[in-house]
Amino acid sequence: MLPFAFSLSARKVAAKIALALIAYELGCPFALTPQFDFLRGARTASRLEDLRVWIFANKGFMGAHLRPAHQHNVMCYLNAGMRYSEPTSRQFSIFCNAATKERVNPIVLANEMTLIGHVLSPATKFEDSEAVYDQWHPIVSAFCAQKA
């Protein structure tokens, strides 16, 4: 199982990474706007309920791009209206290899609009440890088998 992924500490790290990458991609003034107060507040959160950072599992999302065990993704969709095509909406993705600390271009089998559709679909299971385990076990197992 992956108990660390459900911890308060792991979610604080995810919030920090997300905020740092928003600042990197869209600029510090944008990242300092009030809409990201919840990410800045993650630093002092003392309970999971105080965070708006969730873990999810979705087979369609996972099947839409290939990933190695060290690949970290930040996929950001900042929806300014009811559609992601609004002129003031923003979207970006950053993929990096945690082992080499380099930014990578992933093999993506679906466009980003399709991916966000997967995440927002009823097929997504939020905060379900068994679903997350089932989703990540093949990737982690393959990595461990290569290292054995």
Which residues 6+ apart lie within 8 Å of 34 measured at CB?
Answer: none
Residue 90: DSSP 8-state: E
Residues 13 and 25 grouped into a single domain: yes
Residue 78: DSSP 8-state: E
What is the per-residue pLDDT across 14-68, written as a single tens digit (0 to 9) for each?
889 888 888 988 899 989 988 889 889 998 999 988 888 888 888 887 777 666 7
Residues 122 and 64 grouped into a single domain: yes
Total-model pTM: 0.72
Query: What residues make up the domain containing 136?
Result: 54-148
Residues 11 and 46 grouped into a single domain: yes
Name the pairing type of β-strands 102-103 and 56-57. unpaired
What is the per-residue pLDDT across 102-141, written as a single tens digit (0 to 9) for each?
887 766 666 666 777 778 889 899 889 899 888 888 888 8
Residues 99 and 147 grouped into a single domain: yes
Residues 32 and 59 grouped into a single domain: no
What is the Cα gyration radius of the chain?
A: 16
Residues 24 and 3 grouped into a single domain: yes
Number of separate domains in the chain: 2
